[in-house]
């Protein structure tokens, strides 16, 4: 039987298209989720001309960047951010309402990953008494485990326990975090009863001591044009130091600050990169059987520690991001070599941003300020005592929420609604407070719709204060004229974050439509063709997906 050339061409084209379709409907061998703690969106571009072509610029040049990604809740804190990224949900549903929160029925303070029923593995004390049990919903990593009948390997790692535990989810093979007392990486009996042999060998290298020698700028200090003068009045110092100026003798500072000092240097990120690559190699991630995707969740936390201490306009922050860029480049190159370029999917985002130091902002003739929550709590309780006769009706003002002592209110048979109304009126007159709402009456309160939605999304009745307050722009809770910075508010500096994807199934380009942190998990789920997390309220960002 003879075939003409046209028929053969069509047949070959059909075969090529069939092969293309099969390739694109398969799964990536590995997903790497990267969260950069306290990374403002503008850091993608503020230092772009100084980044190498292998790190941030590679992600931007080869991947897809969602330029207007926002956090849709309040307050903007680390534990909430990591939970929301991986659940597609908000505190109202997933239950992580702060790094610490108050159980409203008992008044008990709860750390986000606290689990007193488990024990430390690889260390001593409470450093390892952690698990994801306080997270009420599933994560995209959980859903991957379920979709593959638990054949996928899932690992989480971060210097912060919450940064490794919450992304890895409930079904993870393990999460590892850093013990600042010993310089070792630890876990808990929630995951395993002893550290794997390779991790013991990794800890035996004593890399923390190796890195804590000296921190000097990567480049000549006069080239740091995006930063203010190295010696200034807007930074905090390390313990045992009078001024924050380069170079830092880390070996000497270690004596007063301990091995935990590495957290507040860029070498904490380098150490995190080292263990992430050790997990990749020793657990053979991305080398699972055909069609089974593995997941590595990595959170770089030193950016947050350095940010808190030195604030966004410092040479220290610029140098930290230039060094992180090199660490990212090394990770991506290693993934190319071990998993194969095009065989893995990577996304990079942040749990929150960071504000300018208010004193710095004021000195530039801008409006900014410090809200003294401790003094306000004292004044508020004094005010309430004159009206209701009880000394301590307000437990706390943590998380920009007012937490009541319900035990006292009930035992004294006080009028709770009258107390709440009095608090709202008091807080409305406090300097720096923009809006106050009783969450049972927020629908009746004159607050811009965007802020109202974020307040509702952040409110979990069992774990949040019934009254929430919002500060004016460039205000945050802290002592007057304190150095460094923090986060937690609704402003773009805290709520506008990067969301960049690269690799398997991803187009190259940019999207300028507004998307939300809650859209990250369902986008990854759509790419992996698995069920979205069970508390998800986000939508897949269809523009990023490169399916036929």
Question: How many angstroms separate the first and last alpha carbons of the chain?
Answer: 34
Instruction: Give the torsion through C-alpha atoms of 6, 9, 10, 13, to 10 deg.
Output: -160
Whether 78 is a known active-site residue: answer yes
Q: Would you give the DSSP letter of residue 367?
A: -
3-state helix, strand, coil in the chain (%, to 5): 40, 20, 40
Rounded CA-CA distance 163/178 in Å is 11
What is 229-244 written as a DSSP string?
Answer: -SS-SS----TT-S--
Q: Which two tokens stand for residue 28?
A: 């990536």
Dist. CA 286–CA 335, nearest whole Å: 9
| Other Cβ atoms closer than 10 A to 383 | 16
> What's the Cα-to-Cα distance from 369 to each of 287, 372, 431, 436, rounded to whole Å?
52, 10, 9, 18
Ramachandran angles phi, psi of 340, nearest 5°:
105, 130
Helix (H, G, I), strand (E, B) or coil at 65: strand
**Closest to 488 in 3D by CA, of 80, 12, 19:** 80
DSSP H stretches of helix in 311-405: 315-335, 358-363, 373-388
Taking residue 170's Cβ as centre, other Cβ atoms within 10 Å add up to 16
**In Å, how far from its chain's centre is CA 78?**
5
* CA-only gyration radius of the chain, Å: 25
Task: Specify the long-range contacts of residues 99-103, CB closer than 8 Å, at least 24 apart.
Answer: 99/162, 100/398, 101/398, 101/399, 101/463, 101/464, 102/395, 102/396, 102/398, 102/403, 102/463, 102/465, 103/462, 103/463
- Give the CA count within 13 Å in the CB-facing half-sphere of 378: 3
Instruction: Please tell me which residue in 78, 208, 398, 485 is annotated as part of the active site.
Output: 78
CA angle at residue 372 from 367 to 378, to 5 degrees? 145
Please return the burial class of 32, using the count of CB atoms within 10 Å of its CB with bins 0-12, 13-18 and 19+.
buried
Active site members: 78
């Amino acid at each position: 039987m003879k075939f003409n050339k046209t028929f053969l061409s069509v047949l070959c084209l059909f075969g090529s298209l069939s092969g293309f379709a099969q390739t694109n409907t398969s799964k990536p061998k590995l997903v790497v989720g990267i969260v950069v703690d306290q990374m403002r969106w503008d850091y993608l571009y503020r230092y772009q001309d100084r980044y190498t072509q292998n790190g941030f610029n590679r992600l931007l040049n080869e991947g897809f960047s969602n330029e207007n990604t926002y956090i849709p809740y309040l307050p903007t804190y680390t534990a909430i951010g990591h939970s929301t990224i991986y659940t597609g949900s908000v505190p109202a549903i997933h239950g992580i309402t702060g790094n610490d929160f108050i159980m409203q029925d008992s008044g008990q303070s709860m750390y986000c990953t606290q689990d007193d029923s488990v024990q430390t593995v690889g260390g001593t004390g409470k450093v390892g008494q952690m698990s994801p049990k306080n997270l009420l919903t599933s994560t995209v990593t959980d859903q991957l485990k379920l979709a593959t009948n638990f054949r996928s390997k899932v690992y989480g790692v971060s210097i912060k326990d919450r940064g490794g535990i919450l992304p890895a989810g409930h079904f993870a093979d393990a999460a590892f975090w850093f013990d600042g007392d010993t310089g070792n990486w630890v876990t808990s009996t929630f995951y395993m009863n002893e550290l794997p042999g390779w991790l013991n060998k990794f800890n035996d290298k004593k890399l923390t001591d190796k890195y804590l020698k000296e921190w000097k700028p990567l480049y000549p200090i006069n080239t740091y044009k995006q930063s203010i003068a190295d010696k200034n009045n807007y930074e905090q110092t390390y313990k045992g130091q009078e001024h924050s100026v380069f170079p830092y003798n880390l070996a000497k500072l270690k004596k007063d600050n301990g091995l935990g000092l590495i957290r507040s240097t860029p070498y904490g990120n380098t150490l995190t990169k080292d263990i992430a690559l050790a997990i990749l190699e020793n657990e053979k991630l991305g080398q699972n059987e055909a069609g089974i995707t593995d997941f590595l969740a990595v959170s770089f936390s030193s950016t947050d520690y350095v940010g808190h201490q030195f604030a966004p306009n410092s040479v220290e922050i610029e140098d930290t991001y230039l060094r992180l860029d090199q660490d990212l480049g090394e990770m991506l190159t290693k993934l190319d070599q071990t998993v194969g370029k095009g065989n893995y999917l990577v996304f990079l985002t942040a749990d929150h941003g960071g504000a300018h130091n208010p004193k710095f902002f004021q000195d530039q003739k801008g409006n900014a300020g410090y809200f003294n929550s401790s003094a306000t709590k004292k004044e508020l309780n004094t005010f309430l005592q004159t009206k209701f006769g009880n000394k301590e009706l307000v437990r706390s003002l943590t998380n920009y929420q007012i937490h009541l002592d319900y035990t006292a209110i009930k035992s004294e048979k006080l009028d709770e609604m009258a107390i709440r109304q009095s608090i709202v009126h008091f807080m409305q007159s406090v300097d720096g407070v923009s809006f106050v709402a009783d969450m049972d009456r927020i629908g009746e309160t004159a607050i811009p719709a965007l802020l109202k939605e974020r307040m509702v999304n952040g409110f979990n009745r069992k774990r949040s204060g019934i009254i929430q307050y919002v500060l004016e722009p460039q205000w945050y809770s802290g002592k007057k004229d304190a150095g460094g910075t923090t986060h937690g508010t609704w402003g773009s500096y805290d709520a506008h974050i990067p969301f960049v994807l690269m690799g398997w199934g991803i187009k190259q380009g940019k999207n300028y439509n507004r998307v939300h942190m809650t859209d990250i998990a369902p986008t990854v789920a759509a790419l992996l063709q698995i069920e979205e997390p069970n508390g998800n309220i986000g939508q897949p960002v269809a523009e990023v997906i490169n399916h036929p």
